[in-house]
Amino acid sequence: MSAGEQSDSASTLVEHYFRHEYGRLVSTLTRRFGAARLEAIEDAVQSAFERALTAWPRQGRPDRPGAWLTRVAVNRLVDRLRKARHADRLEANDLDEPATPGATEDMLVMLFACADERLAPRARLILCLKLLCGFSTREIAARLFMTSANVQKTLERGRHRLQLTWHKLPPPATATADPHDDPRLATVLQVLYLLFTEGASPADTIGLRPELCDEAIRLARILVDHPRGDRPATWALLALMHLHSARLPTQIDREGRLVPLPEQDRTRWDRRQIAAGFECLHRATRSASYSRYHGEAAIQVEHIIAPSFAETRWHEIVALYEALEVLQPSPVYALNRIVALAEAESPELALERLGELALPSWFRNHYVYFGALGELHRRTSHPERAPAYLRKAEENAPSRAERLLFRRRLEACAGST
């Protein structure tokens, strides 16, 4: 192997460890040194990975990369604290092991800390991306369509909140029989759901962001392997993530256009993700507990098991959305039920039921609503009403992939007249 190939291989290895070790290092060092030094801890961890980028290509990968990164980060942090005359009595060897039960506990403490209900949902997500997933301010800004300055301000507020509450957090082992009796667990699940949804939704110009989906699944796996997270709702969320991930490779075509479900190539759906999803759903149904994640996962199952779009059990999907509306009323669930009703019965009946819905005004001005209305009209005996709605959907859609889809449907309307 040439020197250049060795360097590329080492860089790839460092990147792999960065995604998998960053959150552990930040969490463990925060426990040992305190949340008041969080920014210094982040800098020390970043420095450890930067040093790995230069050292590993020359010296080769260490036998225990996690321990190597831990030692370098601790030494860097201790040096900085000594210079600031705040040195802790901590030896680097005390943090030598990269993957102990304590390390997992530390990550869970950080995950629950980031899910502070007094923070805005977007702030919780940003803290998770930064502290547990290792995303830079610029990467977070690009993925969440924010300016770097606003991300930085949100991080500063989030760190301040975390510093105030860190010592009050109960240990992760504190578990209750049901997540409804554990509000912080319910919030953690919401954060992971939002993280996955961000990745599975088309971004402005870069399509889907599977790396966000992967991080959500990774964190959910850590959570579900712990007694506090080993709950039906957590397993249901993990099932939903795996089943949805199975279809991601078919959701954007080569031109960057969103591919609707009827046109997706089902032979390309990821069978490993499907198998993982079914296994998680089996674990999620060990009790009578039922959450929104159970409902959404069950809908994914209906799509997965259908031999074709036409053979989908649409009446079952309508019933599942009805149950979700009772469990957690949402205009999104209501609209999705109407779309499923169009397949189960007819677009005409769906339009009639849509007109009966008491939807909030903000949702009636949302591009998703316009898109559904346009598509329903396009399939009725009055397709001339569709273009106006589809144009509004195209004008307001936040991503190129969705705009291209609506444009294609507009062209189909023009071709049929």
* Distance (Å, whole) CA 180 – CA 147: 35
* Distance (Å, whole) CA 150 – CA 156: 10
- Which residues lie below 8 Å from residue 130, measured CB to CB, with a gap of 6+? 42, 137, 140, 155
222: Cα separation from own chain's centroid:
14
For the chain, the farthest-separated pair of C-alpha atoms sits apart, in whole angstroms, at: 79
The answer to whether the beta carbons of residues 403 and 391 sit under 8 Å apart is: no
Nearest of 99, 120, 104, 41 to residue 75 by alpha carbon? 41
Average pLDDT for runs of 10 along the chain of length 417: 49 70 91 90 93 88 89 92 64 45 77 88 90 85 81 94 80 53 83 88 76 90 91 97 96 88 95 98 94 98 97 98 96 96 97 94 92 94 91 92 92 76
> Does residue 268 sit in helix, strand or coil?
helix
Nearest of 363, 361, 355, 313 to residue 338 by alpha carbon? 355
Instruction: Please give the DSSP secondary-structure letter assigned to residue 201.
Output: S
Q: Considering the entire predicted model, what is its pTM?
A: 0.81
